[in-house]
Amino acid sequence: MITQKHINEISFQIIGSAIEVHRHLGPGLLESVYEPCFIEEMRRRGLSVNPQKYVPVHYKGKVLGGNFKLDLLVNDLIIVEEKAVEKILPVHKAQLLSYLKLAQKPKGLLINFHSTNIKEHLVSLVTEEFEKLPEY
């Protein structure tokens, strides 16, 4: 059974993976450098990672064309958007929130590898789908 606790445990492993990659590579590189290392680290921790996942856009119950691309979908539950930017902007958070809604996933993480401290600049968002799940 999927619970809030289960999803938060997966999130903890994702964040730990990001910290480990950041510890080895440091800030200032491109997303394309971090991504394969990040994926490898998550897989070493037993997570299922689906990179560059295309998701069709549903509108009022119909697929009318068009897709959006998630950076990473972890354990088919958590969307991870990676950035390597000077500063996380409101548009980055809005993008993740839209992806969560359209993909109907309970939680998303926005991770900026350009920061000096991953945890201080991490954005974690949950949806109504998350709130509907049992805590334990």
Q: What is the pLDDT of residues 16-71, one digit of tens each?
A: 999 999 999 999 999 999 999 999 999 999 999 999 999 888 889 888 877 889 99
Tokens representing residue 17 in the block: 């993976």
pLDDT at residue number 61: 85
**pTM assigned to the model:** 0.95
pLDDT at residue number 80: 98
Q: Buried (b) or exposed (e) across 6-17, using 16+ Cβ within 10 A?
A: ebeebbebbbeb
Q: In this model, does residue 93 exceed pLDDT 90?
A: yes
As a residue count, the chain comes to: 136
